[in-house]
Structure 1
């Protein structure tokens, strides 16, 4: 009997040694589950690598780790991401963006008309659900979840190209305020892209995971998510590995696009002052928009940037417009918009019955939180610096990829975040 026990013990030890040596010297297995951030303005895909424990945000062929959430229909094909952006100005009525604003929602006729009035493409109601009208060789309609599915398919193919294996399973993030229908239709979009969704995780929780807050001793976490088109502020309570969304507020019409628009208005006025005519040619406006967006990004890192654009201005020979924009000017043009960020911050603190000095961690998410003035504004309000240790553009996808690794059973094992649903919580919106 003792000999048998000794033999069993030796076998168990041999198995442990084989597993250890396998982890040390054999190539790690490929990730089985991808993490998806289907954002309003940009989207990303990431994976958790077994063995190394590293998260990789997967880049496209041009080494870009985010793709615009834009789909464009032509007579011959459907373009996604940067390819869609390239034809957007020449094909505005068949180029769909901001589809996330419509997915899974039921609109009253007047509210859908109001929401769709600011887009160049046509939106119609199908029993209260939004559909987009596309006119190429034929006229047809597509749903918001179909638009989402083309973006998710693009990201699935990016992941398969990088990993060298087929991908069929994913974890996906959604805004914390999404109701059950919006979550269901987001999952439908993924199913249309050939993906099985193992878990839907709230974006603020994903961001908190990216910052490692599911593994440290904090109680209250404020997540400020300011992207290209929307502002979302969430107050999370955490106990152990469980997150509970205590309060939400935001502004569905405030983001980086608005800051760029202010700079574009200033720039076009400078063109009028210098050349006596406003730029109206589509190609000129497109170049100006691109130059202004580039200048906005440069100003996050340096005190000034140059806008240099050849313009036709309805004359035979192009003219060169050149202007220097300082960070101080950019901040002055947008100061009233920046101040609006504090409205939902104050609301979530009031609804969560928390003083500003009781917040343990302030987490910044979304590319627009790179703007130095916004970081100063939040730091001054709370009397301490926000946590900026993670790339704000990639915080959500990093957290979702971590959760995907957990769902795939990847080694080394991570502490999973568990969300406690708050069915009765409503988001306060400022517009």
Structure 2
């Protein structure tokens, strides 16, 4: 008996030793489960690499870490991401964006008509669900989940090209406010792209995981997600290794696009004053819009930038040039920046917490890079928000960690388990 135990012990020891040596000297297996962030304005895909324990956000053909959530339909094909975005001005009626706002939702006809009026493409109803009416070489409709599936297929192909292996399984993030129907329709979109979804994870929880808060000694986490078109604020309560979303609030008509629009309106007025006529040509407005967007991004790291762009105008071609300062940008948007605090105060009130009881403030979304936004949050809480993770990639990073867990990757991570809060409702402000 003792001899048998000795042999068994030797076998177990040999197995452990083989596993250790394999981790040290053999190339780790390719990840087979990806993490997907299907965002309203941008999408990203990432993987958790076994062995080294790093998350890699996968770039497109040009190495860009995210792609616009834009799909353009033409007589010759379907163009996704940056290719779709490039067709937005020449093919506006057949270029769909913001599909995530419609996926899985049931609309009253009046509400859908009001929502659809914001877009150049045509939004129609099908038994309460939204569809997009397109006309290329024939007229047809597509659903929000089909549009989303094209984005997910693009990211699947990006991952397969980069990793060199077929990708069939994924973990995907959704807003915490999504109900069961919206989650199921998101899964349906992934299935249309040839993906099996192993888990759906809330975006605030994913962001908290990216910041390592699933392993940290924290209790109350506030996630401020300010992207291109929406603001979402979530209050998470961590109980052991589990996250409970205690309160949500937001503004689905506030984001970086609004800040850019204020700056664009100022620049258009400056052009009028300088040349005596407003720029009215579609091409000129497009040029100014792109120059303003670039200036906004540069003003997050610089105090001033020079905006320089050619304009045809109605009378003669000109080269418009202006100096834009961060101070001017902040003054133009001061009232919009202050609106960020409205849902923050609401989630604290609904969650029954004072601002002093928040252990960690996590920033998500590219617009949280704006220095004035960070200052407003810092002044309100009396402490710095956590900025250790790229806010644009925080959600997809957390989703990739969860994908690594679902794929059994080594080194093993602590899984983030979400506690469903059936009574949770999101408060929206405009």
TM-score class, shorter-chain normalisation, is over 0.9
Secondary structure of the residue aligned to 2:191 is: helix
Deviations 1:120-144, CA, capped at 9 Å, x for gaps: 0000000110000111111100000
1:362-401 equivalence runs, <5 A: 362-401=361-400
Shift of 1:284: 1.2
Partner of residue 11, structure 1: 11
Partner of residue 202, structure 2: 202
CA distance in 1 between counterparts of 2:94 and 2:285 reads 19
Shift of 1:4: 2.5
- Kindly report structure 1 stretches of 4+ aligned residues shifted beyond 4 Å: none
Deviations 1:227-265, CA, capped at 9 Å, x for gaps: 000000000100111000000000000000000000110
Unaligned runs of 5+ in 1: none
1:237-386 equivalence runs, <5 A: 237-315=237-315, 317-386=316-385
Check if 1:180 corresponds to 2:180.
Answer: yes
Deviations 1:267-291, CA, capped at 9 Å, x for gaps: 1111111111211212111111110
Partner of residue 134, structure 1: 134
Partner of residue 161, structure 1: 161
CA distance in 2 between counterparts of 1:388 and 1:168 reads 33
CA distance in 2 between counterparts of 1:391 and 1:304 reads 23
Give aligned pairs, total: 430
Shift of 1:9: 1.6
Shift of 1:5: 2.1
Partner of residue 419, structure 1: 418
Deviations 1:200-246, CA, capped at 9 Å, x for gaps: 00000000000000001111000000000000000010011100000
Larger deviation, residues 278-287 vs 205-214? 278-287
Secondary structure of the residue aligned to 1:222 is: strand
Deviations 1:93-148, CA, capped at 9 Å, x for gaps: 11100000000000001100111111000000001100001111111000000010
Partner of residue 115, structure 1: 115
CA distance in 2 between counterparts of 1:21 and 1:349 reads 50
CA distance in 1 between counterparts of 2:6 and 2:348 reads 62
CA distance in 2 between counterparts of 1:371 and 1:301 reads 9
Secondary structure of the residue aligned to 1:45 is: strand
1:90-101 equivalence runs, <5 A: 90-101=90-101
TM-score, length of structure 2 as denominator length: 0.99
Shift of 1:32: 1.4
Shift of 1:2: 2.5
CA distance in 1 between counterparts of 2:179 and 2:302 reads 41
Partner of residue 224, structure 1: 224
Shift of 1:8: 2.0
CA distance in 1 between counterparts of 2:12 and 2:249 reads 54
Q: CA RMSD in A?
A: 0.7
Shift of 1:3: 2.4
Secondary structure of the residue aligned to 2:149 is: helix
CA distance in 2 between counterparts of 1:359 and 1:4 reads 57
CA distance in 2 between counterparts of 1:355 and 1:5 reads 59
Partner of residue 409, structure 2: 410
Deviations 1:41-78, CA, capped at 9 Å, x for gaps: 11100000000000001011111001110000111010
Secondary structure of the residue aligned to 1:349 is: helix
CA distance in 2 between counterparts of 1:406 and 1:213 reads 16
Secondary structure of the residue aligned to 2:28 is: coil
Unaligned runs of 5+ in 2: none
1:53-92 equivalence runs, <5 A: 53-92=53-92
Secondary structure of the residue aligned to 1:170 is: strand
Larger deviation, residues 333-342 vs 8-17? 8-17
CA distance in 1 between counterparts of 2:94 and 2:413 reads 43
On the 8 A contact 2:122/2:133 being kept in 1, the answer is yes
On the 8 A contact 2:32/2:165 being kept in 1, the answer is no
CA distance in 1 between counterparts of 2:251 and 2:206 reads 20
Deviations 1:147-193, CA, capped at 9 Å, x for gaps: 10000000000000110000000000000000000000000000000
